[in-house]
Every structure is written in C-alpha cells, then in structure tokens.
Structure 1
C-alpha cells in the first residue's frame, strides 16, 4: 500500500461516527429461536453501551415529549430503544423512520431476530416504498416518505405512541418535513413521544427547535438532550500521497492491493452513482475470475449496492461468503450510514458524492458530483471499525481533506420544492411561508415551486390543491412532473407507453457500458438497434418492448448490453404504478405506435424543461436563457440537433449536460402549458 501514508484515528476521536436508504406483508420466518440462541442474543444486547442507559431513556420519555439522543456509533440506539419501549408495554405502535429503505429492512430483520419473531407479523415489520405492512406491528421500521403518506389519512398519527426519527444528521428532504410536521402534531397530542436520534448533529439547536412548542408561561422544557457513548474500534486512516487521475480505477487498484496482501477482512468501497458502481464491479469481476482460474488463495466475490437495486439484491451484501473468499462491496453513499455490513474491515473512500442542487433559472435539479464533507468522510471511515480495528483508504490527499466543508448542506435548501409543497398542501398546510422548517428554504425556491405546481394544474390561483388532479398527484411517490404525465396519459390514449417510460426513468441506467474497446463498440452498435429520432424516452420504450417480447430473459439483456437488474426493477415499479393508475380510473390503453401522442403527453409534465436551439449552436432554456448541452450518451448527440427538445435531468460535470431527451414542437408548449409559456417577439439589435 505504498501509495498511501497513514494517519491513526483513536477510539476517542470517533464521536461523529454513526449507527446506521400490490402491498406485501413482510414476515420474518427464518429465525430458529431456541433457549441457547435466546440467551446468546440477550447477552449481546446487554453488552451494548445503550443498555446501561435503558432506565434513564425510559424515564426521560415519561417526563419529556421530545428526546434528542446523541448516540455514538455502535451504541445500539436504532435497534434497542424500540425494544425497550415494547418490553415496558408502551401503548400503541412504535414507529422508527430511516432515511433509506435498505436501512429500514436490515434493522427490522435484526430486531426480528433479537425478539425471536417467527410468524408474528404483529410484532416487528417494515414498510418501504411500494411495499407496505397490512398488519400493524408493534415495532414498525419505515422510510420517512412512508410516514408522511400515512399522515394524509391519519394527520395526528393516532396509531402511534412513539415516533423515532433516526439519522437526523443526514437532513434529507423528508427529515426536515417530518420534524416540522411532528412539531405541530406534538402540540396537538401531549401524550405522543418523539425520539430524534443521530451521532452527529447540533443537539442544542434541535432542543431549542422543539422547545419552542411550549407556551411562554410554561417554564418546563418539552425537549431534553441525552448522550450515549458508542462502541467503536480504532480505524487507521490512509491518504494518497498524490491526487489520483480517476477515482474509479484507483478504487479497483486499491481493492486488488488489499486483496493481494495478507490483511484479513471484507472491503467496502464508496463511489458516487450506479454507473460507476457497475463499472467497478465489472472490472473487479474480471480480475476475480482470473484469480480463481489461476487457483490462487486470494479469491473474492464482488457485490454492488445502490438505491435503485432491488431490495433482494441489496440484501445479498449482508450474507456470509465461503471461508476462502473475501467479500468486496462497491456502494454509493447508501452504505454510508444506518447500514452495518457484517465483516467489513477495509473502507475505500473516493472522496466524492452525487448530490442534487436546484437551479432556479432552469427550474430543474442538477446532479452534481462534488466533494464530500468532513462529517461524511468520518462516517465512511466508521464503517471499518464496527467489528474489529479497521483501515480506511482515502483516495485524496490530506491537504484536500483539510479543505472539505464540515457538514453537508440540508437537502431542503438545495433541491426543487414542488414535491415538498404538494405533500404539505395535501396534509392541510395552507400557508407554506409560516410552516416551521428546521432550515427554511430560499424564498425563490418556494416561489418557483408554486409557479410550477400552478402550471401543472395541481394548485389553483388561491394556492389550494385542485380536485381531483392535485390530490391524486400528491398520492404518487413521484416527482409531480411525472405524476401529472401518468394521470394525463389516459386522455392521450397512451397510458401503456407512458407507464413504461416513467418506470424506466426511476432507475439510474439501463445500459451496460463495457470499458474495453471491442466490447464498447459492440455495446454502441446494439444500442443503435433501438434508437429513434424522437429521442431517448422513445428509445427506452423500444428497449422495454423488445425486452418484453423476449420473455423478459437475461439472455436478451446480455446480448444487447442491457442491465438486467435494472430492467427487473423497472418491471417491479411498473406493476406498482399500474395498480395505482387503475385506482384512479386511468384507462390502461396503448397508442399502437403513435409516438406523437406519447410526446405530447410527456409535454404535459415536462414543459418546464423545454429548450430551443440557439443560433450559436448550443441549446438555451426558454426561461432564464441558460446554456445547456446534449449529453454524449443521448441518441440525439450524433445527429443534427432538432430545434426544440425537452430534458428530464441536468448533470453538471465540465458543463451543463441534458439527459433523457425528447424532440417536441414549440406549438405544443403553447397548447399544453399556456400558464407557463406565451408567444412573443424578440428583436436583436
């Protein structure tokens, strides 16, 4: 490991490490609960640092409405507090909110094992996007979005007696919404208890935020802070001596160096997105096959982990491997917090993360690959110190580390707020400006979101949700632009095609991009078979249609360089969305090849993302006059550029690139979005 120089992180410096993503009933039936195993689990639970604070936690929850729990990594707060409440027969359901679905699933499985749950789905369960519990388990792990959706039917959460917001430090969009909503609910329900838990957060600030619930005459605080020491092994930190030219290739090289050494333990590597993860996995599998064929003792298996992967595939990283194999997990920041992957000793940190930033001029979120914060770097290193002393290899210099920001900006202040406002309106929050956000978003973002929602016909001129369109759009766990397209598709007679396109847009990439020259050329040739001049979205439609005709086979995907796992995820999402559309009486019909009807339907939602070809040769937004460029992966990149196109997202690398494009006509904008566009004459002098 000569490319790195070591720095040692002592256990006392680890206070910012974290303890960490049709309806289906989830039951835990694979646990053999006998007396010996029961005693073993009870012993493990009693060894957790939080066990020493069990009675103190229960006492504080009796006396205070809100407990701000600062629990260090490994203390057991995510799994043990719900069990303490259940053991003391706390009335009502105990809800635990996690930022990511994989965290909710893995924690629920862990607690099910510890409680000895067999077929008792009324004890422990979980609910994530598109999968919800039909029963009401005593302990319910869920994603934050699920709880917000439950508030639409039960605004005061009367089924719950305790809500735990875990990993609040991440400050996701839903985290801030939930804290604002819970503040209002706590005022109406004095018996309800809230636990705000994390390892790195400004506890005083949160305590003051929830204490503001009380009347001025009340001298007693409603929120209290408690700290719990963690259980963390020392982690040795290594920085590169010189900056690396490509962190994906450097990640692959570092994995191979660790694997060739005699250092035991599994490896977790962080990259920014699905494409990078798939590329690294593909390269490492080639090396793994060569090592296994040579009869070497340094065998390893490679597993990907990212948000759009099906939860069945995500759970593979938690399973044990053969004794003579090493497990290598290549993940996005989904594995940064909440999730503890067994066996991890080595962590490789690329130093970057893919984040969304809202551009008020283009009315779009831009995906930007940017450096992580120091807090995130510490969290990533913490993954290596959960079971034994570990090592973290940072693919950036120590000097670059010192320049990183301390924390990541809250998602609320940096992304598009159309979905946020739509959800709050559905929950009865009429005056958005007076809503108590923990971190108030910029006023221009609120103004832009209201303008878009009005143009989508989701709200009226008074700012109220329209019936039925606005209320129906709020029910979809999708960007309002996409939900408007889905609900309008029946009118254009192309709901079958729109279902497919919107489902395809929910995964990061459907194409496999080989790194070697020969296979790379073959992949481009195969992609050409599906490409059409109407753009990328109609090309996606062709890919899915061909995949369906093949019988959804893996061989088809392998032959045409299509990502099979992504296509299976598309199928799953499409089935769920189709059921929702039927619930809203949207006819499921096909346009039988009428692509103009599909393109016009797409305009009903994506009209804010329209651009025109400027005489300079670049595209410019109609509103804001921002210069954008066609992404090299687009089917429109190599053909004469059409005059008008729409995009789905913007990626900021060397310049602003548009992805997922569709060719349109300018008159469609005037016809389908009259509140947003009007014709005018511009004179150049």
Structure 2
C-alpha cells in the first residue's frame, strides 16, 4: 500500500510538482477548477488523486493503508482516501462513521482535543474512541450550550429593556404607550438656550428638568389620550449657536438656476460654495497655497476639485486626499456623476489600498492620504500633479501630517505645484503658521446650517447601547410628523451590529400607525456595495436609522438627517511608549468632534442632537483630539521617511512634532525587526518592507514566508486579517453558526483557522462559493475582497522577485513566519491574581508586562489546557485587557527567530 515514502518515488515526482501549482494541491481542487486548468490525461488525474492522499498522509506519519482500513472499518483503499480527504478538508466524515465517532474526529481535526497537535494521534486513538469520544462530545455540547446561553441572555436583556420601556407608559402618562402616544425628550435631556459668542457656553435657562436613571423621559405635560400630540411641543427662543447659524431659504440660493441645466447641475448651483466659485479659482491661480474653511454642507469636498479642473481642463491633474477609504470612494462616485465625463476610472477615479480604478486619462484622482504618501516615496516632488487638495485636514491623521511635510518640500522645488488645504473647523491658525513662507490665501465659506437643539442626560449612562436604543425609539415614536433620518454615532462594528439587531427586532412590534424603520449601518470594513445603501433616500412611510462610526462626522455627507444620537465615544488606537504597545481602546470624543456630530442634524432643516452624557461631562472634554502623530506608534512614519532619505525624523518638517519617546520606540522596533542596522540605516529587508502596503510586522511575516517556502499560505492569512467581518451570526441561528465555525477551528490558533476558511472557500470552486458562504455563515462579500487583497499582495512580492511557494501540508513554516513578524507580541501563560487566578491569563513579554486574556472570539478561548506560549496581533482594552488573533508557538522558535530578544537560557517558563 502506498504511504508517505512514495513521495520519494520518481513515479510521483512529476505530479508532486504539479500539486504545488494549486492553492491547495489537491485532487478536489483540480476537479473544481479543471475548466480553468490544462487538461490532464486519465492516468495523470488518477496519479494526482493518489498523490493527494499521499500528501495528506504526511499528517499520519507513515501509517500504511491496511492499518487505516482496519481502524476506520472500511474495506477498500478508495474509502480510506475519501475519509482522509473529507477529514482534513471538510472536518466531517460524511456517512462513513456513526455520530459519536464523527463528533470525535471532527473535534480532533479542528484542534479542540487536549492531546497532541497532529492528526496522527487521532488515528492512534481511533481504537479507543468509545471512551474518549464522550469527552469530545461534551466539549461540543459545551460550545453549543454557551452559544445558546448567549442567545438566551440577549433575549433576557431585550425583555428587560422592553419592560423598562413599557413601564414608562404607566408612569404619569410617560413612555411609549401602546396606542402610539409618544414620549418627548425632556426629563433626562436638558435643552439650553444659548446666547453669546462662546461655543459650548449655554445659558442657565433650563428648559427641561433632568430625570432619574438618565433616560429620555418627558417632564412636560403629555396630552391625555386622544389629544393631538404634535401641536403641544414648545421650543425656546434662541439666538443662534456659533457654528449652527440659522439661514432662511433664500440665503442658500446664490443664483437663479437656469432651468435648461440638468438636475445635478441645479443641485451644484444651490450649494453655498457656488457663490464663491470665481473667488476660489482666482485664489488658486494667484497663490501657491490656499486654505479653505468650509462649514458642513458647503459643498467644498465635491466642488473644489471640479472648479480647478473646469478652469484648466487642458493641464489640470488634481490629487484629492481623504483620511478614509469610504470617503474617497463615495466622493469620487458623486463627482464622476456630476462631471458626466465618462465612467468612473476615466476622467474621475479613486485609489485606495487594494482598490485602484484610475487610468492614464484620470484628471481628478481621489485617494486616501496614505496612497499619496506611497506615491511620494517614488516621486518626492509629486510630478504627475498640478494641484494637491488635502481634504478633511482638521482630522490630522498620521498620513495627513506626513503629507503636509511632503507637499511643503515639493513646493520648494516646484513653484508650479499648488496646494489647497480644506478644513471643516475655523481653527486654521496652525495651517497658516505652517505654510507662512508661502503667504497662503484663506477663504471661509459659510455652510448651510440650521439651528440644532442640544439635549444632555442627567447622569452618566451605564449602558450606552441601551440608552441609544431607547433614544432612537423615543425619537421615532414622538416625531410622527417628520420622517427625518436618525444618525447614531457608535464606537465600532460590534456596537453597530448589536444595535442593528435590537432595532430590527423592535421594528417588528411598532404600533400600526408608526413609520417603518430601515436600519442602515456604515463602518469602514463594510463592503462598498453595502456602504452605498446609506446614501439612498428612504422610501415613503419609512424612517432611516443610520448607525455609524466617526466616519460620519465629516468624511461623508448623508442627506435627510434631522436627529443625531451621540454616545460621545470613539474607538481608536493609542501607543503607550512606556510599554511599547499599541492598544485599541474606547475613549471620549473632543468638544470639536461633539460639535461636528451635532452639526450633522442641521444641514437641511432645524434638527435635534441627543448627547448620551451629562453637560458636566461635555465641559470636561478636551477642545480638540490629540493628533495621531502624538498618539500612535510611528514605525510606518520612520520607515517612510528613511525611504525618502530623511534619516533624522525630528528634522522633518512636521506640522506638529511627534513625541521623542515614540520616535525612539519606533527606531528600536524597526531595528528589532531587521529594517534598520545598528547605525539607523535602512537594510535590504527594510527597503523590501517599505515596498509592501502593510504594517511592518505583516511585511516581515510575508518576507520571512518567502524564505521558509510558505508564501502562499502567508498571503492568505494576511489577506484574511486585512478584511473584517469574515464571520456572521444571524441572531436566530447563533448555535448553528458556532457549530459551523467549529469545522474550521485550528488547534494551532486563529491565523490557521482563517487559513482553513480561505482554503475551504477556494476549494469549493467559483460557482459554488456564494452558497458555500451561506452554508457556513461566512460573509461572501468579505471573502471576495480577501481574494482581491491577496492577489495584489502577491503582485507586490512578484515585483520584488521573491519566491512564492507553498509548504502544504506542513503549517510550521507559516507559524514560524508569523513569529518572525510578531515576536514582540509574545505572551506567556501566567496565573494572574488580577484576573482571579485564572489559568487562561497571559503576561506580555516585551516592554512593560501586562496581564491579558485571550479574547472570547479567539479559537483558543476554550482550549484546555491553554497553550504556554503564544503570539498575538492585537491588544484590545475594553472592560478587560484582551489579546486577539492568537497563535500557539514553540518557545524554541523565539530563540531561533529573534535571538537578540530571547536568550537560549530563558528560565521564565519555569
């Protein structure tokens, strides 16, 4: 019978090489893709199939087929082959074994068992499966029970919220009455009339009293049942709040639109910025730098690039940067539609990471700030552009701050290069000071802003999602005469999906006379097609509820918003220089961010903003957010500056200097990764890292994988980690989703789990992938993006002329390549007093040690016993300190791959 030694036979060598050209190298893959591949003879196909089984048998350590046949209780080699293939690649044994043994094999295959990591142990244990399968089945049941309990807990929580809401109907006429009588904002939200020039300085005329429990309850007299509710609302007389100036309709129209022009052109002409068109074009022609301050709704983002192009169609080539990919894409699509000069990608296009629609004909190129920085690495003077527009400059992202220095250097060498800095805030002194040598022109464009009433809660909210849910429902049932959209600011995807589920559940039980609810989430990781839905108008009789991250503060404009619910929170990365770690944590917004959020309610009509925090909390917020350059890790910045020939990062002309401690830590980290030599100069590895559009750690991982012969697998893992929302769990099928996900779970950790998912997705064939994703509760759009990201990353490696091989089926080379990139993120199992003595606690090994736990979403969360040594991709600070994307490693690999940091005689694990 053939065994693993057959790989050495000359008969199989040809076909062994043939296997390597496939993403998996399996017979199943050939069958799925045979229409796309060269035709094989029947003899070659047969040998390919046999060799597939031989390759799979690598995990079975030379066990002959006759032994397998006996242990698996089958009579033919073909049946053995079928079982092996199904076990390895599907995690199931379809119709071959009874249920108990199937559970045992599944759990062994996905790595939940507590014995050894290789499947040869599975074969050795098959003869005693009767006793051992009981334990494995119990583990499966535990997983399913936990999933079911989570579902029950959510139902209990919802019932609690529903009870709270219902109880208010009987409290002095407050709350959501079953008849549809609405609550009014009041008892918990205070509306202040504000006068005077100081922003955020409300007068002490209190319009409503604060209610208990921090909920939005009415303290006004609610009409008795049957009275007209909408006529009873009273609004205070107010002078306009700075930044929220109320205009009459005729003030918005600067010209009488020509009825012959298209509706799009009439829309353009109605924008406040249109009246200043000539002045803007003149300023750009006469000055090298123009600073343009445009309030929300002025039209600066879509119109300025078109004005520049229209004034010089023959020569203008304009780069327009945005901090976020969603904004770059949506603005490009809108401008392309307005310009009406060909499809997207011709005269107007966008370029974001892993997605470039531009061509040689493109005159208006919308891009993320990071993409223009990458272009500057090859062309420091930005030769291909006549004008660079830096939009949303007030956000002060890391790449935007680098761009300020880059364009300033380029302008000194190119007098013909024009720069337009656009900001939504009035604080432009910093920009004027930075460009003072060029005597910048400053233009202020008034926005189309109506009065916005602001409400606060009486107390800090213990559960901001609960409060947001109540606020949305109260607004919806109270404001029956308006179908204005509600915009809710949340911290991230998890919060958005949770609130989306709750709102959709409540929407099914709304009163018959209430408007229907249409929930539209938007966050950066969403597929583009889904993001576009948020810009579509709501159908008649439907109110749109937009659940968004801070992406909706200024980067995108959503029409129809009348109500804003602001949690006052934002999730962002922060670098702690003392520990050398970057953490993802939830923080309070600044006052400037809070006012930007408020302003989204007053673009088209008077609006209301509900802040889910007390006024005292608002007064304590910082005036503006700390810029990224002083908050996040700077390895990318240092690497980019080194490529541009700037060895001393502090000598670079930053708009605001970064912290010296952060720069020192960045230099140390790049040296540890091998990007810099002991003199701080770029190494060959460092130059290769700079050529990859990924974070330095991922770049090292990919480059090491080319050395270890596992680049194919590494590309798949990095692509999967670059895309969020791979898995989804329908609210009513959480247990089924958890069970389906268990098929992919790898004993070795999350990265290998993701590799299993990608392999399964590719193996099923292009025509079946959509159905496969539905069956396995996997986001098909996300997987399509993974394919695109992987293909582009592979192209970068090919440009570097690096070998792209596969180590299939051995995954240790892949694990080692991950360690090579992430060894600074090593953690050792530790009994931590701070975590209740839990054996699942870990201590980080580099910098200041932190006690952390494996995140509940990790495939290693329930592993028992937990592995002793792991590396992780991300540190998350929420109510606890978690590590995410965790991989099991061998301690010896640290010494092998990072000898500078880990001595051979390391006694820390004693």
What is the TM-score of this pair, normalised by structure 2? 0.68
Q: CA deviation at 1:328?
A: 2.0
Q: Secondary structure at the match of 2:435?
A: helix
Q: Out of 611-620 and 7-16, give the one that drifted further.
A: 7-16
2:791 counterpart residue number: 575
- Do residues 225 (structure 1) and 442 (structure 2) align? yes
8 Å CA contact 1:11, 1:232 repeated in 2: no
Residue 473 of structure 1 is aligned with which of 689, 702, 705? 689
The residue that corresponds to 1:240 in the other structure is 457
Distance 1:567 1:271, change over 3 A: farther
Tell me the CA shift for residue 151 of structure 1: 1.3
After TM superposition, the structure 1 = structure 2 runs for residues 294-313 of structure 1, keeping only pairs within 5 Å, are: 298-313=515-530
Correspondence for 1:68 among 291, 312, 326: 291
CA separation of 1:296 and 1:15: change in aligned 2, threshold 3 A: closer
Once the two structures are overlaid, the 10-residue window that deviates more, 296-305 or 380-389, is 296-305
The aligned counterpart of 2:852 is: 629
Residues 181 and 564 (structure 1 numbering): CA distance in 2 closer, same or farther, change over 3 Å?
same
Task: Specify which of 520, 530, 544 is matched with residue 758 of structure 2.
Answer: 544
Of the three residues 472, 490, 515, the one matched with 1:271 is 490
Which residue number in structure 1 is paired with residue 617 of structure 2?
400
User: 1:32-431 residue pairs with structure 2 within 5 A?
Assistant: 38-89=261-312, 91-119=315-343, 122-132=346-356, 133-200=358-425, 202-211=427-436, 214=437, 222-261=439-478, 262=480, 263-289=482-508, 298-431=515-648
Measured at CA, do residues 683 and 453 of structure 1 come closer, stay the same or move farther in structure 2, by a change above 3 Å?
closer
Structure 2 residue 189 is matched with structure 1 residue 4: yes
CA distance in 1, matches of 2:395, 2:744: 40
**Residue matched to 2:829:** 613
Shift of 1:260: 2.8
Q: Tell me, yes or no, if structure 1 residue 433 matches structure 2 residue 650.
A: yes
Go from structure 1 to structure 2 and tell me whether the alpha carbon gap of 1:459 and 1:259 turns closer, same or farther (over 3 Å shift).
same
After superposition, the Cα gap between the structure-2 partners of 1:612 and 1:88, relative to the gap in structure 1 and judged at 3 Å, is same
Shift of 1:557: 4.3
How many Å separate the matches in 1 of 2:346 and 2:740?
Answer: 50
- The answer to whether the 8 Å contact 1:165/1:196 transfers is yes
Question: Which position in structure 1 is the counterpart of 2:104?
Answer: none
Partner of 1:23: none
1: CA distance, partners of 2:305 / 2:239? 27
Per-residue Cα deviation, 1:468-524 (whole angstroms, up to 9, x for no partner): x322321222111101211221222222221221122123443335667xx545444
Q: Which residue of 1 aligns with 2:748?
A: 534
- Report deviation, 1:136: 3.9
CA distance in 2, matches of 1:608, 1:225: 46
- Cα deviations across residues 338-375 of structure 1 (Å, max 9, x unaligned)? 21112222222121110101123443310011111111
CA 1:124/1:547 → structure 2, altered by over 3 Å: closer, same or farther? Answer: closer
- Distance (whole Å) between structure 1 residues aligned to residue 700 and residue 505 of structure 2: 44
Deviation of the 1:306 alpha carbon: 0.8
Give the conservation status (yes or no) of the 8 Å contact 1:417–1:446.
yes
Q: Which has the higher strand share?
A: 1
Matched, 1:664 2:878: no
1:443-454 aligned within 5 A: 443-454=660-671
Measured after TM superposition, the shift of residue 593 of structure 1 is 2.9
Higher relative CO (CA 8 A, sep ≥ 6), structure 1 or 2?
A: 1
> Aligned residue pairs: how many?
654
Alignment check: 8 A CA contact 2:591 2:624 kept: yes
Tell me how far apart the structure 2 counterparts of residues 243 and 169 of structure 1 sit (CA, whole Å): 29
**1:624-676 alpha-carbon deviations (Å, 9 max, x no partner):** 24123122332333322322111111111233211111111222112112344
CA distance in 1, matches of 2:473, 2:784: 31
Q: Which has the higher mean CA deviation after the structures are superposed, 97-106 or 588-597? A: 588-597
Q: For 1:123 and 1:561, how far apart are their aligned partners in 2?
A: 40
Shift of 1:8: 5.8
Q: In 2, distance between residues paired with 1:112 and 1:295?
A: 42
Q: How many Å separate the matches in 2 of 1:86 and 1:200?
A: 25
In structure 1, what is the equivalent of residue 30 of structure 2? Answer: none
Q: Supply the distance in 2 between the matched residues of 1:605 and 1:11 (Cα, whole angstroms).
A: 58
Shift of 1:416: 1.1
Secondary structure at 1:632 match in 2: coil
The change in CA–CA distance for 1:203 and 1:297 in structure 2 (over 3 A counts) is: closer
Rounded to whole Å, the distance in 1 between the matches of 2:908 and 2:271 is 72
Q: Distance in 2 between matches of 1:470 and 1:246?
A: 46
Secondary structure, aligned partner of 2:318: strand
Shift of 1:200: 1.6
Kindly state the Cα deviation for residue 555 of structure 1 after the two structures are TM-superposed. Answer: 4.8
State the alpha-carbon separation in 2 of the partners of residues 521 and 487 from structure 1. 39
Structure 2 Cα separation of the partners of residues 243 and 565 of structure 1:
38
Partner of 2:714: 498
- TM-superposed CA distance for 1:535, in Å, is 1.7
Q: Is the 8 A contact 1:645 1:664 kept in 2?
A: yes
- Cα 1:629–1:119 change in 2 (3 A) is closer
Residue matched to 2:875: 650
Distance 1:635 1:123, change over 3 A: closer
Pairwise CA distance, 1:377: 1.0
| Distance (whole Å) between structure 2 residues aligned to residue 654 and residue 549 of structure 1 | 40
Q: Distance in 2 between matches of 1:541 and 1:120?
A: 34
- Does structure 2 retain, via aligned residues, the 8 Å contact 1:16–1:378? no
- Does structure 1 conserve the Cα–Cα contact (< 8 Å) formed by 2:193 and 2:239? no
Residue 105 of structure 1 and its aligned partner are, at CA, apart by 2.0
Inter-CA distance 106–510: structure 2 relative to 1 (3 Å threshold) = closer
Q: Is the 8 A contact 1:610 1:647 kept in 2?
A: yes
CA-CA distance at 1:413 after TM superposition:
0.9
1:674 maps to what in 2? Answer: 899
In structure 2, stretches of 5+ residues that fail to align are 1-183, 195-237, 246-257, 833-838
Please list the CA deviations of residues 74-97 of structure 1 after superposition, one character each: whole Å capped at 9, or x if unmatched: 222222222222232173312211
| Contact 1:628–1:658 (8 Å) recurs in 2 | no
Return the TM-score normalized by structure 1. 0.89
Question: What CA distance in whole angstroms lies between the structure 2 residues aligned with 1:265 and 1:683?
Answer: 61
Q: Deviations over 1:393-426 (max 9, x none)?
A: 2222222222222111001111111111112222
Q: Contact 1:265 / 1:346 at 8 angstroms: preserved in 2?
A: yes
Query: Which residue of the partner structure matches residue 128 of structure 2?
Result: none
Structure 1: state its 5+ residue gaps.
18-34, 215-220
Distance (whole Å) between structure 1 residues aligned to residue 404 and residue 779 of structure 2: 38
- Three-state SS of the structure 1 residue aligned to 2:861 is coil
Counterpart of 1:243 in 2: which secondary structure?
coil
Q: Within 2, Cα distance between the matches of 1:681 and 1:129?
A: 41
Partner of 1:21: none
